[in-house]
Chain A
């Protein structure tokens, strides 16, 4: 059984990785505090429930990054000859399914509450001998869950780009957008306070649609990754140019007539298969192939393995 070479990040990427890990740990600690803060002030506000759920679900990407990051650096072995790079993608698939289901459930629940005309009750708590309306601590908890998170997102975004890490990228984007969730819940609670009983369920409905939307976006991305879709950029908007660059590089070799390239992405790394037609009379083919392989790997730090297969005639272009 031929196993893939173990993949090690290039030395210049180790620093951003360490920083990313540190920020993800900080994110986890912060999110747990935000989740706890909202949990203790839930009352029976639907919007609070939705915000709480969203916060709970936003624990998934940092966890996927930290755990998946550990798993995917395991050495390839006889049982997993391609290595463990897909661990993060699978963590992602599971997380996005959770988002999707939760979003749907919450949306249905909010619509039911609206239809039935449920009037949410927010009572009072005793704080330091005063009877305080529970709405105030709720709003505080929402501020705590909605403001610092945006800064975290902004810190993580450049790291995600440097490491080309999809999980980290999705996480940073989710964080950056999280203030809107908190804001919607905030308006829901203020709405209850002003006597608009429907504001709560409406806010929860908007948040749940958003959770659903996030879920389907990530689910599609994860499925695409698992189906070996042609590699795309971090935001999944454009195909990467790498396959074209490899083909171009191979075809510019003076002993190559034509080449066809296929690239698949495994988590952070690329595996490329190249079929090439050598010019008639090429000597030292094996040596040339070996050199070309080594040179091709320098095209991109994520290009982990290149297979050059000499063929007689050019295969049909894809």
Chain B
């Protein structure tokens, strides 16, 4: 430890002289500065407060919907609410996930939404918020019926191109891609919040778990914490809105 020792002012014994002084200094540092921790290296939170929140949007109904006018959907509304809680206005950018994530990496955006799962391949380059939603992908049965214990050979309606198709095949079920899943009769595959919206009973077997979160510019820890706190406070409300949104689509 000679390298670190040379940084010390005295060649003293560890905890007695330099050590306890260092500990005291650390305590003063942490307690004095700790109140404002964590802060942003690039000052995102300060800039957003009373200014502009630059949000990127990847389309994934019902989390985000893109059309004429500003983006809508459950998460878009959430970002609007976050911005107004900080007295900021939202500046939307719609694009592909790859492009938006790159912009986020260079801190040209402050956050990106679009029902982004926790296992996003971009996770290493950007900062991930805490998941505000844990969803279970499973098979549901119509009201009054139950999902068979063994899925083998049972036809299951599923959205075309959904990741559930491969998982259903693994479980031995017969996936039937249906454009209007919410109108299909019999068993349907979906996330638990969708099944809830349709009044379906979710089965025991989990095809996969998905955690949904918001991605934030990397290293802006103060801003990330602000987003985390907001998501945490609004998590149950957001899930409720998702269910309502899915119910509205089904009508």
A-side residues, CB < 8 A to B, are: 118-126, 131, 133, 135, 139, 150, 153, 174, 176-181, 183-184, 186-187, 190, 192-197, 206, 209-210, 213-214
CB distance from B160 to the nearest CB of A (A): 35
Does B166 lie at the interface of the complex (its beta carbon under 8 Å from any beta carbon of A)? no
CB distance from B86 to the nearest CB of A (A): 17
Of all chain A residues, which has the CB nearest B231?
A131
Number of A-B contacts (CB under 8 A): 108
Choose one: A120, A133, A209; the contact of B37 (CB below 8 Å). Answer: A133
CB distance from B104 to the nearest CB of A (A): 12
CB distance from B220 to the nearest CB of A (A): 7
> Can you pick out 18 interface pairs between chain A and chain B where the beta carbons lie within 8 Å of each other?
A120-B219, A121-B127, A121-B218, A121-B219, A122-B221, A124-B228, A126-B232, A133-B38, A133-B221, A135-B37, A177-B5, A179-B14, A181-B4, A192-B38, A195-B38, A195-B43, A209-B3, A213-B3
CA distance A177 to B22 in the complex (A): 13
CB distance from B25 to the nearest CB of A (A): 10
Flag if B37 contacts A206 (CB, 8 Å). Answer: no
CB distance from A93 to the nearest CB of B (A): 21
CB distance from B237 to the nearest CB of A (A): 16
Does B1 lie at the interface of the complex (its beta carbon under 8 Å from any beta carbon of A)? yes
Flag if B26 contacts A119 (CB, 8 Å). Answer: no
In the complex, chain A residues whose CB is within 8 Å of the CB of B3: 206, 209-210, 213
Taking each of A119, A122, A126, which has the highest tally of chain B beta carbons within 10 Å of its own beta carbon?
A119
In the complex, chain A residues whose CB is within 8 Å of the CB of B33: 190, 193-194
Residues of B within 8 Å of A, CB-based: how many?
36
Choose one: B1, B218, B220; the contact of A177 (CB below 8 Å). Answer: B1
Of all chain A residues, which has the CB nearest B127?
A121
In the complex, chain A residues whose CB is within 8 Å of the CB of B26: 183, 186-187, 190
Answer whether A195 and B222 are a contact pair too, CB < 8 Å, given A177-B5, A183-B22, A210-B1. yes
CA distance A122 to B130 in the complex (A): 11
Taking each of B15, B30, B37, B229, which has the highest tally of chain A beta carbons within 10 Å of its own beta carbon?
B37
CA distance A183 to B23 in the complex (A): 8
- Give a binary string over B12-33; 1 marks a CB under 8 Å from any A CB, 0 the rest: 0011000100100010011001
Q: A123-B129, A123-B228 are in contact. List 9 more A-B contacts (CB 8 A).
A: A118-B218, A124-B224, A150-B15, A177-B1, A179-B19, A180-B5, A183-B26, A193-B221, A194-B39
Taking each of A174, A176, A195, A206, which has the highest tally of chain B beta carbons within 10 Å of its own beta carbon?
A195
CA distance A192 to B15 in the complex (A): 26
CA distance A181 to B219 in the complex (A): 23
Flag if B14 contacts A150 (CB, 8 Å). Answer: yes
In the complex, chain A residues whose CB is within 8 Å of the CB of B39: 193-195
Flag if B228 contacts A195 (CB, 8 Å). Answer: no
Of all chain A residues, which has the CB nearest B34?
A193
Does B90 lie at the interface of the complex (its beta carbon under 8 Å from any beta carbon of A)? no
